[in-house]
Structure 1
Amino acid sequence: MAECVACKQSSMAQYTIHNVRFFDFNPKAIHCMSYDDATSRLALSRTNGDIEIWNCWSRPFMQLFLPGDNDSSVEAMVWCQGRLFSAGLHGFLLEHNLASREVTLRTPITGGPTWCLALSKDKKKLAAGTERGYVCIFDVVDSGVMYDRALEKQEGRILHIAWHISGDYIVTGSVNCVRVWSLKEGRVARCGLGAADRKDEVIVWCVGILDDMTLVSGDSSGRVCFWNAELGTVTHSVHTHKADILALTVCPDQKSVYVAGVDPTIVQVSRVETGTKKGKVEMWVKGIQRSIHTHDVRALVVTATDRVYSGGVDTILTLSYFPPRTVCKFPALPPLGSISVAREAESLLLQYSDHVELWRLGASSKKGGKSGTFLPVTKDRVKLLELQGKDDEVIQWCAVSPKARWIAYLVQGSLRIYHFTPPASGKQPRVQRVKEVSQEIKKSHQMLWLSEGKLVSAAVTGAIQVINVSGSKAELEKELTLSPGHSVLQMTCDLEGKMLAVVDSKNIITIFDIEKETISVLPGHSSPCTAVGIHPLTKEVVAVYADMSIKEYDPSKQCYTAFCRQHLNEPSSELAKKHSVILRVSFDPDRPDLILLHNESAFVVVQKDKMAADVSQEKAPKVKKVTSGSSPGKGAKAGIGAKFSVIRRPNQVLLFSQMKGEAVVSVELNPLQVMDRLPSPLKVKKYGGT
């Protein structure tokens, strides 16, 4: 659905919003997670094999995206000294290069399909549990991993694995069985079995091991069991859930564990001391419960600061901690490169896994009107083009030129470039592939069009290539370089395509003047950058960081602007009220005093002239909430403060960008659309309900 809506963003500007709701974004369930305390990064995989790297140093946000393919399977992941390893049903141990977004290592695992991975506490060894009952040990070395040995084969698959702090013992979970392995002897030292009189088998989905050799297991009966490792017997059993427990994580202090599963309630089980006639006795009891998911929870991790990240079938990454009682939900977002805007042609290029679609947006003959009202659509949206990939191809990135005459997308890092001629005077649209691509053009992981016929590509080698496209040829014009060891995270350019801003993996923002070949580097900032933009008139660079700091930089003077030094010294308290980060920066060429931002739930307008006028005020006036009409009216609220105008949206905002003239486009997703695609959750009878 696309509508034209009149929306008054501020007292000095009025825009027509193209409200796009026909992008069929279908987020997948979260399958497994791994957290690296040293770098504050969270890796999560989804059921289609995609891997997302979230930076959690300040406000969590997706910083990297590693696309999967048709054969991808990610059942387990571990971090080891900044390196990411994964394993799956393909039977290989993979190491992912986060700079090139490629798999740099494929090591076969004895036993085929792999269900779990664990890293020793000294970070020198990896253990993998397989379908055929093998536990394989690998040595982690600088050049990759080296196969060490396979422990004694057991009956049944190894579903979960954990490593003791000493490095001498491993605990595994299987059907009706929890095993303790001695690495010195290479065999099972103790084996705890389920009750023999049970009619149904008990599947041990997850296990853990404490420093005092207490084993912890979560099983299909909804119980958390604590085992004596020396005797192989259960010392305590706590019935925490009404269905299978799929995820378990041990707190850093070893005094509690978190569990969740098909019953999505996250339960904390804590160790307490109770007084008896015989003295003090330790017991495990059910504690804090968090009902923050609607469907199965498949993955849990706890950080060194006792913050719990959880995810599962409902596709939402959730952060929770106490005290104070805090829950932050981060809905799935399409990765960068899924939506590309052709500003001059008022068109959108939408990327799906097997094809791309080019749409021309609708239009209204009526101009202006009351804020928040619908404008009649006199010219409906039109799908101009659909390009299908081959059967085995997965499209990873797409880009369209400003006038929608050139389209490009990536398949396994390789460029596919097309010239598009739109329909005119009764003629059909024409599309022609650029077949001659220079061998100097390297594989890349992202790209954007600087102008018609000029493309910039971030190569997997770390170079930034400027490519000229004309007729049926694509040739390399020049290469731009970052500092050694730095890789591109995101890129943006000005409207003329003469300046390029690059955010790299070391949190450095570099500005390239492509024609003059000059370079300017923004001052460092403690928090990672989430969005950057270049003003079309002043050429000033606006960067927004995860701590909600906004910085404005003048590349010509190589310093922050006077406005930034005077008004943007501290992170915005108005924006800091939300846990989400700014996702995009755009500008209105006709109004140089406005900066347009957006996060996942709202548009934000920075009014520089108003901030300058209110410089004498120490405190901003109270936020006034105004309910508009339909979209952004129905459920949308606008808060007008001294520094920012915030227009809250009822739907999830995937992209918000300035178009030609006084028009903006907002690509949105109704959360109910995602919920309708999810399987039925566990049905629990509630008191007073049916």
Structure 2
Amino acid sequence: MANFRVHHIRFFEVVPKPINCLTYEPHTEKIALSRSDGSIEIWSVCDNWFQEKIILAVPDHSVEALVWQGTQLYSAGLTGHVTKYSLNQLKPEKSCSSNAGPVWCLVSNASEDKLAAGTEEGCVVLFDTANGDLQYYRAFDKQEGRIFSLAWHVDEEIIVTGGIDNIRMWSVNSGHAIQRLTLGRQEKNKETIVWCIAITSDMTIISGDSRGKTCFWNGRQGTLILGVESNKADVLCLAVSPEENSVFTSGIDPTVVQFELTPISTETDRKAWVSSLVRTQHTHDVRALVFAGKYLASGGVDTALITNLLVKVKGTKSWFRYSGFQHVGLLRTLFIVVGKILEKWFGHLFLLVVIANLQVVFIYRLTILNVYFLQDDKEFITPKLSLTKVKVPTGMLLPAHHMVLTCDGRTLITATCEGTIQLTEVGDDLATLSHTFPSENQPIHLLQVSLDGLLIAAAYGGKQLCIYNTQLNKKIYTLPNYKCQASAMGFSQNSQELVVAYTDQMILEYDMSCGEYTDWSRSNTKTFPIQWQKRHSKISHITHNPRNNQQVILHDEQMFCILDKTVPMTGKDARLYSKSSWQTHGDSNIDKTPKPFHICNKYKYLLHLDTLTEDWLVAVERTPSSILDTLPPVLGTKKFGT
């Protein structure tokens, strides 16, 4: 097995952003997640919780609420607008003003042709979204104080809103309030804020408020059924199961509490809401909870998306932790040497790519491409960097969301928001568009170029992989489809093979001479160790050992490994080999037979790993402790009775 020296970097200060809200679309099995900087992430639940898209933040644009209507995504925020997004172009498509100030909450009706927004000025505003459009429809009567939360009954005739010291029920037809439920105060001069609210089909209203209470109300009679101090501080979010027999709440106190609708006795059909489970997995405030099929997903200030599989154990609900890692892989990666300088010079960056020898820099800012040659003065102890701009004709290139470079730094390959692939030749003083490959009518989420610059691999959202030839200027292969999306891919040193990692941990190799599986893939596909297949983190980068084309280097956020293709898979029950276990434990009983996987768990979270020279690797790490140091203080709690 090859030995490498590792250049270890920890000064790359990537700061993940808190999660603001979550929403789930059951037909496509997608979760949309917004962060505090206004960026939106699309996660595919059916692809083992794979982050497939990122809609980068628009300056001065916040996202306080997200709603799916079929495959269409809408958001609302403090700008007072409701925004519709294009998931192919990964950008806002249309925006409509509420005419009533900032929007704090947004919800869809069951027919998915209307949106209701709760605003700063105390108005419920309806928007018409029929036929995929977005238009202002009308507003309800104005109430005193802002609306923090709202819910739409399944029959679409009632909307319930939560505000300051009260809950109101509204008639959708008339726009008038038909009932007002008053909440008490813990302190005379301290308002009670209803942060979250839901309504079931039998008109049971569930609310969470700033007193730390979860309340259940009879919506038909306007009476309180049950009020429980479920949390030690504000309840910020709640989620109701699709069957409406289970409710989860959480908030500033990151404890997640479950309520179940349970029969009072065997002699009657009457049921009551009972607290049945308490679990703490987050370290900071939980701002969003959502049911995603058989999973419960949660997120908040600690930036982690945690998902739990809900299973029945002996007649009660218990949780199995499916995944709960800190997601720190960012689309906008500022490379180590010039990242901070460039961000200081240019401000908000959309995409940035730096060639490995640090000669050419490409920067996308929204719709503008800037190309620079980079020079460094090596006579100084601290090198001084300078940039020389290369002219790019206006309107030549389409807006893009992925960029890669050939090894000579002279050809830029961009995956555009229109689904096309553009090739740009970079001269000493002018960049020119050389060719455009047509769209496959699907967004591109992965892009890779071979070392010789002749082949381009593009992975599309519909699980399609295409290979393009830059000399022939045409698509030469559509590779065999796999059941999951690709999470990473990399060409071999001789550009004859393409290794692809998928979201179910499968690794396949394709022969570029015929566009089919290689002999290695055909022999080993069904014998991958179960220990490897049960991993939760997805492979995010693939490269090859420069000294040995049969060794593939892969990494995710939790580890990196070397896959030796010369060693056959020994079966699903085989144990993975880890070099660290040899050195740490020295156990003579360890199986010392060669294994195909050599894993290193030394680094976490691993942002990037690549080869520098034949025997050097560079590893960019952001440790969990360094991320926690950037987060605000947590709610103070007593420990051990003190």
Question: Structure 1, residues 563-596: CA drift from partner, whole Å, max 9, x if none?
Answer: 1011123655232232111111111132011111
* Aligned with residue 431 of structure 1, among 377, 381, 387: 387
| Corresponding position: 1:230 with 2:208 | no
Q: Which residue of 1 aligns with 2:369?
A: 415
Gap change, CA 1:152 and 1:572, over 3 Å in 2: farther
In the TM superposition, 1:476-495 aligns within 5 A as: 476-483=433-440, 485-495=441-451
* Amino acid across the alignment from 1:29: P
Is the CA contact (8 Å cut-off) linking 1:626 and 1:639 kept in structure 2? no
Name the CA distance, whole Å, in 2 between partners of 1:676 and 1:430: 33
Is the CA contact (8 Å cut-off) linking 1:455 and 1:466 kept in structure 2? yes
Q: Which residue of 2 aligns with 1:46?
A: 35
Gap change, CA 1:603 and 1:276, over 3 Å in 2: closer
Is the CA contact (8 Å cut-off) linking 2:448 and 2:489 kept in structure 1? yes
Shift of 1:438: 4.8
Q: Which residue of 2 aligns with 1:376?
A: none
Name the CA distance, whole Å, in 2 between partners of 1:641 and 1:261: 50
* Aligned with residue 90 of structure 2, among 95, 101, 116: 101
* Amino acid across the alignment from 1:542: V
* Aligned with residue 441 of structure 1, among 384, 388, 397: 397
Q: Which residue of 2 aligns with 1:398?
A: 352
| Corresponding position: 1:34 with 2:23 | yes
Q: Which residue of 2 aligns with 1:15?
A: 4
Q: Which residue of 1 aligns with 2:315?
A: none
RMSD: 2.4
Name the CA distance, whole Å, in 2 between partners of 1:628 and 1:89: 55
Shift of 1:388: 3.0
Q: Which residue of 1 aligns with 2:204?
A: 214
* Amino acid across the alignment from 2:423: V
Name the CA distance, whole Å, in 2 between partners of 1:197 and 1:546: 49
Question: Structure 1, residues 156-183: CA drift from partner, whole Å, max 9, x if none?
Answer: 1110111111111111110111111111
Shift of 1:683: 1.2
| Corresponding position: 1:388 with 2:383 | no
Gap change, CA 1:231 and 1:197, over 3 Å in 2: farther
| Corresponding position: 1:682 with 2:635 | yes
Question: Structure 1, residues 75-109: CA drift from partner, whole Å, max 9, x if none?
Answer: 00011111111010001111111211211101111
Name the CA distance, whole Å, in 2 between partners of 1:455 and 1:34: 36
- Aligned length, in residue pairs: 626
Name the CA distance, whole Å, in 2 between partners of 1:211 and 1:336: 41
Shift of 1:402: 3.1
| Corresponding position: 1:247 with 2:237 | yes
* Amino acid across the alignment from 2:330: P
Q: Which residue of 2 aligns with 1:201?
A: 191
Q: Secondary structure at the match of 2:628?
A: helix
Is the CA contact (8 Å cut-off) linking 1:413 and 1:445 kept in structure 2? no
* Amino acid across the alignment from 1:318: I
* Amino acid across the alignment from 1:594: Q
* Amino acid across the alignment from 2:319: R
Q: Which residue of 2 aligns with 1:589?
A: 546
Q: Secondary structure at the match of 2:522?
A: helix
In the TM superposition, 1:348-367 aligns within 5 A as: 348=336, 356-357=339-340
Shift of 1:555: 2.2
Question: Structure 1, residues 354-388: CA drift from partner, whole Å, max 9, x if none?
Answer: xx34xxxxxxxxxxxxxxxxxxxxxxxxxxx6463
In the TM superposition, 1:302-317 aligns within 5 A as: 302-305=291-294, 307-317=295-305
Name the CA distance, whole Å, in 2 between partners of 1:331 and 1:22: 18
Unaligned runs of 5+ in 2: 312-317, 585-589
Shift of 1:641: 6.9
Name the CA distance, whole Å, in 2 between partners of 1:134 and 1:470: 57
Give the structure-1-normalised TM-score: 0.86
| Corresponding position: 1:326 with 2:320 | yes
Name the CA distance, whole Å, in 2 between partners of 1:239 and 1:145: 40
Q: Which residue of 2 aligns with 1:163?
A: 152
* Amino acid across the alignment from 1:398: L
Is the CA contact (8 Å cut-off) linking 1:89 and 1:114 kept in structure 2? yes
Name the CA distance, whole Å, in 1 between partners of 2:452 and 2:186: 76
| Corresponding position: 1:275 with 2:231 | no
Gap change, CA 1:326 and 1:430, over 3 Å in 2: same
Is the CA contact (8 Å cut-off) linking 1:225 and 1:234 kept in structure 2? yes
Is the CA contact (8 Å cut-off) linking 2:510 and 2:518 kept in structure 1? yes
* Aligned with residue 463 of structure 2, among 507, 529, 552: 507
Q: Which residue of 2 aligns with 1:531?
A: 488
Q: Secondary structure at the match of 1:610?
A: coil
Name the CA distance, whole Å, in 2 between partners of 1:197 and 1:212: 30
Is the CA contact (8 Å cut-off) linking 1:400 and 1:448 kept in structure 2? no
| Corresponding position: 1:665 with 2:621 | no
Name the CA distance, whole Å, in 1 between partners of 2:215 and 2:343: 54
Name the CA distance, whole Å, in 1 between partners of 2:254 and 2:186: 29
Question: Structure 1, residues 429-470: CA drift from partner, whole Å, max 9, x if none?
Answer: 432112343532222222121132211112222221100111
Q: Secondary structure at the match of 2:236?
A: strand
Q: Which residue of 2 aligns with 1:569?
A: 526
Q: Secondary structure at the match of 2:574?
A: coil
Gap change, CA 1:17 and 1:629, over 3 Å in 2: farther
* Amino acid across the alignment from 1:28: K
Gap change, CA 1:209 and 1:434, over 3 Å in 2: same
Q: Secondary structure at the match of 2:442?
A: coil
Q: Which residue of 2 aligns with 1:116?
A: 105
Is the CA contact (8 Å cut-off) linking 1:620 and 1:641 kept in structure 2? no
Is the CA contact (8 Å cut-off) linking 1:638 and 1:647 kept in structure 2? no
Name the CA distance, whole Å, in 1 between partners of 2:504 and 2:591: 23
Q: Which residue of 1 aligns with 2:413?
A: 456
Q: Secondary structure at the match of 2:396?
A: coil
In the TM superposition, 1:119-158 aligns within 5 A as: 119-158=108-147
Name the CA distance, whole Å, in 1 between partners of 2:58 and 2:482: 36
| Corresponding position: 1:300 with 2:289 | yes
Is the CA contact (8 Å cut-off) linking 1:349 and 1:398 kept in structure 2? no
Gap change, CA 1:622 and 1:500, over 3 Å in 2: closer
Unaligned runs of 5+ in 1: 1-11, 341-347, 351-355, 358-384, 631-636
Q: Which residue of 1 aligns with 2:599?
A: 646
Is the CA contact (8 Å cut-off) linking 1:624 and 1:639 kept in structure 2? no
Name the CA distance, whole Å, in 2 between partners of 1:185 and 1:111: 19
Is the CA contact (8 Å cut-off) linking 1:170 and 1:181 kept in structure 2? yes
Is the CA contact (8 Å cut-off) linking 1:60 and 1:580 kept in structure 2? no
Q: Secondary structure at the match of 1:569?
A: helix
Is the CA contact (8 Å cut-off) linking 2:141 and 2:175 kept in structure 1? yes
Gap change, CA 1:554 and 1:337, over 3 Å in 2: farther
Is the CA contact (8 Å cut-off) linking 2:66 and 2:74 kept in structure 1? yes
Name the CA distance, whole Å, in 2 between partners of 1:428 and 1:580: 39
* Amino acid across the alignment from 1:475: T
Is the CA contact (8 Å cut-off) linking 2:260 and 2:276 kept in structure 1? yes
Question: Structure 1, residues 15-51: CA drift from partner, whole Å, max 9, x if none?
Answer: 1111111101111111111111111211111111111
Gap change, CA 1:422 and 1:497, over 3 Å in 2: farther
Gap change, CA 1:183 and 1:429, over 3 Å in 2: closer
| Corresponding position: 1:607 with 2:564 | yes
Name the CA distance, whole Å, in 2 between partners of 1:198 and 1:336: 46
Q: Which residue of 2 aligns with 1:91?
A: 80
Gap change, CA 1:628 and 1:188, over 3 Å in 2: farther
Name the CA distance, whole Å, in 2 between partners of 1:126 and 1:606: 50
